Amino acid sequence: MVLEGLRRLEYRGYDSAGVAVLTDQGIEARKKSGKLANLIGVIEEEPLSASLTGIGHTRWATHGGPTDQNAHPHLADDGALAVIHNGIIENFAEIKQELLAKGHTFLSETDTEVAAVLLGDIYRAEGGQDLTKSLQIASRKLEGAFTLLAVHRDHPGVVVASRRNSPLVVGLGENENFLGSDVSGFIDFTRRAVELGQDQIVTITPDAHEITDFFGNPAEGKEFTVDWDAAAAEKGGYDSFMAKEIHDQPAAVADTLLGRADAEGRLTLDELRIDPQELKGISKIIVLACGTSAYAGSVAKYAIESWCRIPVEVELSHEFRYREPIVDEKTLIVSISQSGETMDTLMAVRYAKEQGAKTLSICNTNGSTIPRESDAVLYTHAGPEIAVASTKAFLAQITATYILGLYLAHLRGNLFTGQIKDILADLGKIPAKIQDILDREDEIKDLAVSMAENQSVLFLGRHVGYPVAMEGALKLKEIAYIHAEGFAAGELKHGPIALIDDGQPVFVVVPSPRGRDSLHSKVVSNIQEVRARGAKTLVIAEQGDEAVKQYAEFVFYVPETPTLLMPLLATVPLQIFACELATAKGFDVDQPRNLAKSVTVE
């Protein structure tokens, strides 16, 4: 069961893996560097004894390289105690010195082993009886971010866990209970889950779970039911989760739109703990996010500014709080996070809250920290995203930001109900248009395979096409390990054009020739500029844009749609391109090197 849980959670980190089980003889542990398959190999060679209580971990290395030695679990209390940990313990060095002075020894370079030895030390000092209380005391001493899970030989059938700034959910089964970094760890066994708050300890046994704060005061968790099942977290016949998730996109967009508007075009958010009058009075929006989610924010900026006439800044979460941002009670912070656990974004949201801003979270993960700590929530209903490279979450995030934009425009009276209805109707047509692209995916797949040996690919776009270009480049970097850059097409002449050499592939996201004509012709000029310098031009254009053909080695047409909605279509061929090219190179597209799905450290 533990290995099955790890299989489902492996996307969160895959530098090494390990398990510990409680048996009649005490604790048995196995651990191994590399992917989960390596650990399974070790267990096959040296099977574990029968057990009803176990913990397991897959690691994304922070303190100490991804070696067998540094893999979790870490044992302490003469091998009677096993601990696993997510996060970073910031004061581990000073605690280690104290423990060394007391005569304790260490086998690894990790901060986790320090937590394990500290817990063992406290357990003994407290009389060697109460694991929960010992973890409460230990947690009060630790600084930083941590989810710690501990099992002890003296307490069969008990797992104790502690949580600060790092994810942890409880799964409630029949005569069995679970803990997981997210619900996928136990989705095979139960869909009933409990969210924990900050600085809480939970003790689970087969038939109970008890929550306290770090001082032992009883606390309550919030129970919820997971709205997807184990099948949603399977590949469903595709070669990779990424391929499957690309194909999930029509449903991801449709489900995110579902039930948002009544017949009059009035919109609803999932949770709104801000007075709509206050929302009406906001003077600026700051979008905080990282990676792909930040590109979704950049797309949103164009739509929200156009519909609501409110200035929108988009900032990488990790840069935000270090520049003394100007934030007050009239600022709406919109955080975008698939996982809801990205530490950089969580910290930025907390900082903004402290400054008095209102916070709204756009998130794909029910029960996660960022939505729980935000004043309002709009969930994207993309279903579980397993591949490290974000795809369906991106389209669902854009869709959700558009719902938010329309909601604010309605509240502030910037758009008439009829206009909102028209935009919602256009959004409603997007899933079928994505399906049309997916039905023609072989065109882009063939191109990708033919380009498997390329060393560098550039991406250009203007207006909403610019974040699409950035996203196209990010996909290629992270899964195909190819140098890729996205540029604003207009910026080309200010430097990047020097990169163009004979045969350099350049993807260009071309805006619709309808409506904003000047933009179309400017991008066509940019194509000609790079082509004149030897570039191989690969164009994503709107169906019917015949003019662009003469300037392109390759054209992929996306269905007609209003300009602001174009990213929901133009991104899809770029995702397919990256996925296919990385597959052709023989890479694991779901678990690219050096990355993890949820980045729960700063």
| Local structure of 525: helix, strand or coil | helix
* Backbone dihedral angles phi then psi of residue 473, each to the nearest 5 degrees: -70, -40
Give the contacts of 513 (CB within 8 A, at least 6 positions apart): 520, 542, 544, 545, 547, 548
Is residue 359 near ligand M6R by the rule CB under 6 A? no
Is residue 526 near ligand M6R by the rule CB under 6 A? no
Q: For ligand M6R, which is the closer residue by CB, 132 or 292?
A: 292
> Which of 184, 200, 203, 390 forms a contact with ligand M6R (CB under 6 A)?
390
The DSSP secondary structure of 25-78, one letter per residue, reads TEEEEEEEESSHHHHHHHHHHSPPPP-SEEEEEEE--SSS-S-TTTSSPEEETT
Size of the site for ligand M6R (CB under 6 A): 16
CB 500 within 8 A of CB 530: yes
CB of 51 to ligand M6R, least distance (A): 33
Rounded to an integer, what distance in angstroms lies between the CA atom of residue 541 and that of residue 566? 10
CB of 438 to ligand M6R, least distance (A): 19
Contact map string, positions 75 to 104, toward ligand M6R, x by CB under 6 A: ------------------------------
What's the one-letter identity of residue 160? V
> Which of 204, 290, 415, 530 forms a contact with ligand M6R (CB under 6 A)?
290
- Which residue's Cβ has the minimum distance to ligand M6R? 291
Is residue 16 near ligand M6R by the rule CB under 6 A? no
> Which of 89, 388, 566, 569 forms a contact with ligand M6R (CB under 6 A)?
388
Is residue 571 near ligand M6R by the rule CB under 6 A? no
Q: Which of 285, 278, 368, 286 is nearest to 321 (CA)?
A: 286
- Strands 159-164 and 144-152, sheet pairing: antiparallel
> Which of 345, 366, 563, 571 forms a contact with ligand M6R (CB under 6 A)?
345
Residue 538 burial (10 A CB sphere; 0-12, 13-18, 19+) = buried
Q: Which stretch binds ligand M6R (CB under 6 A): 307-315, 331-339, 510-518, 579-587?
A: 331-339
CB 479 within 8 A of CB 507: no
Rounded to an integer, what distance in angstroms lies between the CA atom of residue 259 and that of residue 469? 31
> Which of 82, 142, 389, 519 forms a contact with ligand M6R (CB under 6 A)?
389
Integer CA distances (angstroms), 551 to 235, 380, 440, 543, 557, in order: 39, 38, 22, 16, 14
> Which of 86, 292, 331, 401 forms a contact with ligand M6R (CB under 6 A)?
292
- Strands 192-195 and 169-172, sheet pairing: antiparallel
CB of 422 to ligand M6R, least distance (A): 30
> Which of 478, 542, 545, 580 forms a contact with ligand M6R (CB under 6 A)?
478
Q: Which stretch binds ligand M6R (CB under 6 A): 126-134, 336-344, 517-525, 574-582?
A: 336-344
Is residue 248 near ligand M6R by the rule CB under 6 A? no
Is residue 369 near ligand M6R by the rule CB under 6 A? no
Is residue 480 near ligand M6R by the rule CB under 6 A? no
CB of 162 to ligand M6R, least distance (A): 23
Give the contacts of 261 (CB within 8 A, at least 6 positions apart): 267, 268, 420, 421, 424
Q: For ligand M6R, which is the closer residue by CB, 75 or 343?
A: 343
Q: For ligand M6R, which is the closer residue by CB, 526 or 571?
A: 571
CB 534 within 8 A of CB 497: no
Is residue 315 near ligand M6R by the rule CB under 6 A? no
CB of 290 to ligand M6R, least distance (A): 4
Rounded to an integer, what distance in angstroms lies between the CA atom of residue 495 and that of residue 457? 16
Longest dimension (CA), the chain: 81
CB 300 within 8 A of CB 405: yes
Is residue 380 near ligand M6R by the rule CB under 6 A? no
Q: For ligand M6R, which is the closer residue by CB, 389 or 574?
A: 389
CB 279 within 8 A of CB 358: yes
CB of 599 to ligand M6R, least distance (A): 5
> Which of 5, 18, 291, 325 forms a contact with ligand M6R (CB under 6 A)?
291
> Which of 339, 369, 374, 561 forms a contact with ligand M6R (CB under 6 A)?
339
Residues in the chain: 602
Q: For ligand M6R, which is the closer residue by CB, 11 or 487?
A: 11
Is residue 170 near ligand M6R by the rule CB under 6 A? no
**What is the CA 99 to chain-centroid distance, rounded?**
36
Residues that bind ligand M6R (CB under 6 A): 290-293, 337-339, 342, 345, 388-390, 474, 478, 598-599
